[in-house]
Amino acid sequence: MLLEQVLDVLQPQPGQVVVDCTVGGAGHSAVLLERVGPTGLLIGLDFDADNLPRARERLTAIGHPFHLIHANFAGLPTVLGQLGVAQVDLLLADLGMSSMQVDDPERGFSYKRDGALDMRMDRARGRTAAQLLQTISDHDLAKALRDFADEPAADVIAAAIVKHRESLLRTSDLVRVVEQATGQSDWRLHPTPGRWNLHPAARTFQALRILVNREIGNLENLMRVAPQLLGPGAKLAVLSFHSGEDRVVKSALRTGQAANLYREIAAEPGRASFQERLDNPRARSAKLRWAIRA
């Protein structure tokens, strides 16, 4: 996602130490590893252990030094400490979902495919989305829908979910409740030629995923510790995909610049090209922000 823009921002050079906080399928990592070469080092993290085998295979084929770690990027200082790395030259966090996660029905991330209502990035720990919905209040759920997904019908959807929560075991159950609550059971992607609609459950799924995985808290922690992990002149790049994430990133960068931790930050976020948005609809909401360590 936004690969060329990321490379323009980070400008990886041979011999550098680069961290990819969200390896996924190693799309970014593979190119970064090639650029830093045999004298450099890539350190890749992923909260989802299922992503690591494919990423490892792809990176091994390149033949340059790398480490892949199953970890949440909120714990990046601990990971670097265990590897004996004090500071890094480049730090990338692509906060988007990987296609492997979305396309697997049993992960529960997709409103388009029926599967267990799970949504955990790390399936070895934490509560599933179905379990979370059994105890959350309609007030807290509505707040999450507003804060994490800008859902205009937050109160109506939250009330309907709480009312029917005992029956919410699969993604199709949740989709049905949201569609009925918002009066959009006859929803269509393309209501008229040249127009498209957002699925009525899209924002609900986004907010629930963020709640289940505590994504905002983890991102806030990463942005707080990032300046400590970057060497002088090192570069940070973050790809966000919704307004809640972007607010956290923008605020942290501005605060860091005011405290003289960053000598320069992005004045405006980078966006996907028109062609990339056509080729990959998920890129439509992507925003790239960056900073250079003082």
Q: Mind listing the pLDDT tens digit for each residue in 26-68?
A: 999 999 999 999 999 999 999 999 999 999 999 999 999 999 9
Q: At 273, is the pLDDT very low, low, confident or very high (cuts 50, 70, 90)?
A: confident
Q: Is the pTM of this model over 0.85?
A: yes
Phi then psi for 4, rounded to 5 degrees? -65, -40
CA 254 to chain CA centroid, Å, is 21
Structure-token match 């650029």, residue found: 35
Strands of the sheet containing 287-293, edge to edge, are 66-70, 41-46, 17-20, 88-94, 230-240, 287-293, 262-265
As a whole number of angstroms, the distance between CA 208 and CA 3 comes to: 28
* Domains of the chain, first to last: 3-99+216-293 (3.40.50.150), 105-214 (1.10.150.170)
Span 131-176, pLDDT tens digits: 999 999 999 999 999 999 999 999 999 999 999 999 999 999 999 9
Span 98-113, pLDDT tens digits: 777 877 888 999 998 8
